[in-house]
C-alpha cells in the first residue's frame, strides 16, 4: 500500500512539474518556427513534387490558427505530424531535451516490456524477467484503451512518424506503441500464447528493473582478428 501511495505521489509531482515546464516558447517563436519550417520544405525538400500539397498547406494553415492554444509539447507533436506528411525518414522534427526527458517507452514502474510487429500482429518480444509469466514472449496485444490495436496505432502513433515505407511505418508504430509522457495510462487487452485473453492497467513510469528476457548476447561494436592468409579482418558496428 505504501509503495502504491508513493508511486501515486510521484506521478502527481511529475505531472505538476511537467505542466509547469510546457510554456517556455513564446507564441511569436512558435509561429516563426512553424513558418520557417514550412518555407524551408517548400523551397528545399527534394521530393516536394511527391507531396500532397493541398493537404500539406491545409495542415499548415490549421496549425497557424491553433498555435496559440498549444503548449510546447503539443506544438512539437503538431510539427512532427506536419513533418510526417512528407513521408521521408530523413526529414524529422526532434523534441528539445526538456521535453524529450519527459517521455518514457514501455516502462511501467516495476517492469517493462517491448513490442514488435510479427506476421501482422503486435506481440511482446522482450519483457522483464520478473514478469515473463504474466506477459509471456509471443503475447499478442489486442486492444489499447478500448481500441483495436491497429486502429489505435493508425490514430495515435503513425500520424507522428516520418517514414517513407509503409511496412517500416507499421513496424515502427508497433515498437513505439507504449511511448508517451510519464504518467500516461493504458488499459490493454492481450492474448497469451496459450490463447488466454486478459486485461491489464498500466501507467508509464521509469523502472530500475534492467533484467530482460530473453537475454541477448553482448556484441562488440568493434572486433578484429588475423586470418590465416595474413589479412586483418575488422568488424565495426558504429
The maximal CA–CA distance of the chain, rounded, in angstroms, is 69
Q: Burial-class residue 114 by CB neighbours within 10 Å (0-12, 13-18, 19+).
A: middle
C-alpha cell at 224: 578484429
Residue closest to 178 by CA, chosen among 123, 115, 88, 84: 115
Looking at residue 159, its pLDDT comes to 97
**Whole-angstrom distance, CA of residue 27 vs CA of residue 67:** 7
pLDDT of 72 higher than 50: yes
Domain 104-213 falls under CATH 3.40.1260.10: no
Alpha helices in 67-159 (DSSP H): 72-84, 97-100, 149-156
pLDDT of 1 higher than 50: no
**pLDDT category of residue 119 using cuts at 50, 70 and 90:** very high
Looking at residue 226, its pLDDT comes to 72
Looking at residue 22, its pLDDT comes to 81
Residues 78-117 pLDDT 10s? 999 999 999 999 999 999 999 999 999 999 999 999 999 9
**Whole-angstrom distance, CA of residue 186 vs CA of residue 177:** 11
Q: What is the mean pLDDT of the segment spanning 194-221?
A: 88
Looking at residue 237, its pLDDT comes to 52
Looking at residue 218, its pLDDT comes to 67
User: Taking a C-beta distance cutoff of 8 angstroms, is the pair 86, 60 a contact?
Assistant: no
Share of the chain above pLDDT 90, in %: 79
Amino acid at each position: 500500500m505504501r509503495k502504491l501511495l508513493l508511486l501515486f505521489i510521484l506521478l502527481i509531482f511529475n505531472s505538476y512539474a511537467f505542466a509547469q515546464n510546457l510554456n517556455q516558447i513564446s507564441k511569436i517563436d512558435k509561429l516563426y518556427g512553424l513558418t520557417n519550417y514550412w518555407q524551408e520544405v517548400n523551397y528545399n525538400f527534394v521530393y516536394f513534387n511527391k507531396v500532397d500539397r493541398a493537404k500539406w498547406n491545409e495542415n499548415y494553415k490549421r496549425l497557424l490558427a491553433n498555435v496559440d492554444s498549444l503548449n510546447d509539447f503539443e506544438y512539437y507533436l503538431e510539427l512532427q505530424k506536419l513533418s510526417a506528411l512528407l513521408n521521408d525518414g530523413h526529414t524529422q522534427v526532434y523534441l528539445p531535451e526538456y521535453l524529450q526527458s519527459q517521455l518514457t517507452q514501455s516502462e511501467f514502474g516495476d517492469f517493462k516490456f517491448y513490442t514488435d510487429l510479427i506476421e501482422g500482429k503486435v506481440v511482446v518480444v522482450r519483457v522483464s524477467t520478473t514478469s515473463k509469466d504474466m506477459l509471456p514472449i509471443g503475447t499478442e496485444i489486442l486492444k489499447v484503451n478500448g481500441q483495436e490495436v491497429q486502429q489505435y496505432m493508425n490514430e495515435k502513433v503513425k500520424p507522428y512518424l516520418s517514414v517513407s515505407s509503409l511496412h517500416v511505418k507499421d513496424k515502427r508504430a508497433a515498437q513505439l506503441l507504449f511511448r508517451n509522457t510519464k504518467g500516461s495510462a493504458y488499459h490493454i487487452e492481450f492474448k497469451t500464447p496459450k490463447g488466454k485473453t486478459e486485461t491489464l492497467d498500466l501507467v508509464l513510469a521509469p523502472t530500475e528493473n534492467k533484467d530482460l528476457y530473453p537475454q541477448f548476447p553482448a556484441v562488440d561494436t568493434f572486433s578484429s582478428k588475423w586470418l590465416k592468409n595474413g589479412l586483418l579482418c575488422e568488424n565495426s558496428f558504429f
